[in-house]
Amino acid sequence: MSLGLTVSGRVYTGALSTGDTVLLMPGGVRATVKAIEMNGLPVLLASAGDNVDVGLAGLDPSALHVGGLLCSVVSPMVRKFEAQIMTMPGVEVPLVKGTCVTLHIHSVDEPVHVTRLVSTLKKSGEVDKKKPRCITRNSSAVVQISSQRPLGLELFSEFRNLGRFTLRDRGVTLAAGIVSEILL
């Protein structure tokens, strides 16, 4: 059987079945899983860790992008999250509330805003200062970040590959971070 429009990749978490309705992200385009193949053989169910080819129905090929993710319609992606970040030595302008940067996670880059500076942290991980005015270079901090479009990320404690990211601005890496709490 021909799969038709096909995407290939790994099931990171959960499971995928023939007939499931999924969202292609970023973009939020709905599609139906027409068929699943593993090693060239048809299967009805794929679980976390499986490398699969997925035939999709009801999807315009122009919606596909390298690095895109298929996710559940029931628990779609995240727009707001809290993260622990470490700013880089090359940061010339401190991060402040409202700063717009580009978040890079897996192969996706998305404009985001730093919406709240929760605290700065000591090297031990203890809170140094609550509600700081800014985050300077070589600092560890907890911040809240929001995006206009949903992002494919998970808690770092539950799934490392989708729980770490970098923040960049005009080609300069400002910070590296891990997702500590999903807010919305």
pLDDT score for 158: 87
Residue 151 has pLDDT above 60, yes or no: yes
Q: Which of the pair, 144 or 76, is modelled with greater confidence?
A: 144
pLDDT score for 76: 62
Residues 51 and 67 in one domain: yes
CATH number for the domain harbouring residue 162: 2.40.30.10
pTM score of the predicted model: 0.78
pLDDT in tens, 18-46: 999 998 877 778 899 999 999 989 999 99
**On the CB side of 137, how many CA atoms lie within 13 Å of its CA?**
8
Please identify, among 43, 72, 101, the residue that sits at the C-terminal boundary of a domain. Answer: 72
Please identify, among 51, 72, 93, the residue that sits at the C-terminal boundary of a domain. Answer: 72
Average pLDDT, the chain: 90
Q: Say if 110 falls within a structural domain.
A: yes
Q: Say if 125 falls within a structural domain.
A: yes
pLDDT in tens, 53-91: 999 998 888 888 887 888 887 766 789 999 999 999 989
Give me the domain span that covers residue 62.
Answer: 6-72
Closest to 130 (Cα-Cα) out of 147, 117, 144: 117
Token pair 């700063």: residue: 99
Residues 67 and 128 in one domain: no
Residues 83 and 167 in one domain: yes
Residues 83 and 136 in one domain: yes
Closest to 95 (Cα-Cα) out of 178, 151, 173: 173
Residues 109 and 164 in one domain: yes
Q: Say if 1 falls within a structural domain.
A: no
Which phi and psi angles does 66 have, rounded to 5°? -60, 135
Structural domains in the chain (count) = 2
Q: Which two tokens stand for residue 44?
A: 């009805």
Residues 59 and 106 in one domain: no
Angular region, 116: left φ>0, alpha ψ -120 to 50, beta rest: beta
